[in-house]
Amino acid sequence: MNGDMIGRVIKGRYKLIDERGRGSFATVYIVRDLEDNRICALKVMHLELSSDDELLARFQREAHILLNLSDPHIVRIFDYGNDNNMHYIVMDYIDGQNLKYHMINQGAMEPLHAIDYARQIAEGLDTAYKQGVVHRDIKPQNILINSQNIVKITDFGLARGRDTVTLTQSNVFMGTAYYISPEQAESGRSADTRSDLYSVATVLFEMLAGRPPYEGDTAVDIVIKQINDKVPSICRLRPDLPPETDAFMQKALAKAPADRFATPQEFIASLELLTQLMPRDIRSEAGNRPVSKTPAPAPQVKEARIIVLSSGLITPLKGEQMVVGRQDPTLGIYPEISLADKTVGRRHAYLRNQKGTYTVEDLNALNKTRLNGVILTPHEERTLKDGDVLRFGSVEVRFELR
């Protein structure tokens, strides 16, 4: 499936407007529900995989489980089905990025920020726990953060409920090595809510430390460490954290499930206590580090702009973060830098101003972003210098800093 899917109507109801993301298993599109004019996301299983009974069962299981889960921190689905062997799930459209994106761009996060994200994940898992559902694949890529900083758990394809028939290969290693619990790595069938909470703790560890608790050259190396190695000290990596943070991680990442938090509510209560133990400067409103009393000299201010080479149109760069894209009033999309060309994605790239240093970042646009003729890797910032030529789709612009 590729760009020729845009404009197609699924099941006579869901019109595909734009591609949002693509994986090895499925592609997610932004769609319009022609019955009520609502904007949704539609996940379509790759056609060539529809003959794989196990993958198809995983896809259908995700739909069945999500239909019975209602929580502000779980992506809601409205419909699922099959249109000419094209299996699809219709769900909430989330205007935002996944947690992995934020980790890559921010590095180690402010403690309260990271704890808040972990608490929201646990709150979503609490609803799943009460319904007897185990996610089994909690990782940053499956955690969406919307524009209001609200967490939404997605991808319940590996989940299992009370009445779910176990697949023939459910004991095979599942999930991602950095975040999987020891018992899940050894036997996926033994996973329960304590396994999910272990995964949340590994995600929190990475948010705080800028790296996961266990690393290795291969997935096997990492899994062996998950099973055998001692829990590393988070406080050695982040000395600004209270020592109770280490105690929390020791319990949350214990090798034996019986030694961990038994329920999401226990996990949440411990997070709330940890919040209260944070030093006062960390718990300040902005959550910033103390600022030096001696102000730094003001840097020389340079004016930045881009010039569309084909038309000579000049756009000053005024904000700290500006979206380059194509305006779409129907979807409510109004990028700060609007380029009226169909080859430009609605959210094509970011231009950022970081204290006078300008960067560009491709947002995984279908028609790519180029810098001086070189295609940029999605979600990787590149520094701009005066005279650089950028290409968004078919539109070429020159960056000027004077």
Annotated catalytic residues are: 137
Tell me how far apart the alpha carbons of residues 203 and 211 are, in angstroms, rounded to a whole number.
Answer: 9
Q: Which of 285, 342, 331, 260 is nearest to 112 (CA)?
A: 285
Pair of tokens at residue 14:
């869901």
Beta partners for 146?
A: 96
CA 354/CA 363 separation, integer angstroms? 18
Report how far residue 292's alpha carbon sits from residue 106's, in angstroms, rounded to the nearest whole number. 22
Q: Which stretches of 36-190 are assigned E, i.e. beta strand?
A: 38-45, 77-83, 86-91, 96-98, 143-146, 151-153
Cα gap 150→137, rounded to integer Å: 19
Residue type, 314: I
Q: Which two tokens stand for residue 226?
A: 């998950």
Rounded to a whole number of angstroms, the distance between the first and last alpha carbons of the chain is 44
Cα 144 from chain centroid (whole Å)? 4
How would you class 398 by CB atoms within 10 Å of its CB: exposed for 0-12, middle for 13-18, buried for 19 or more?
middle
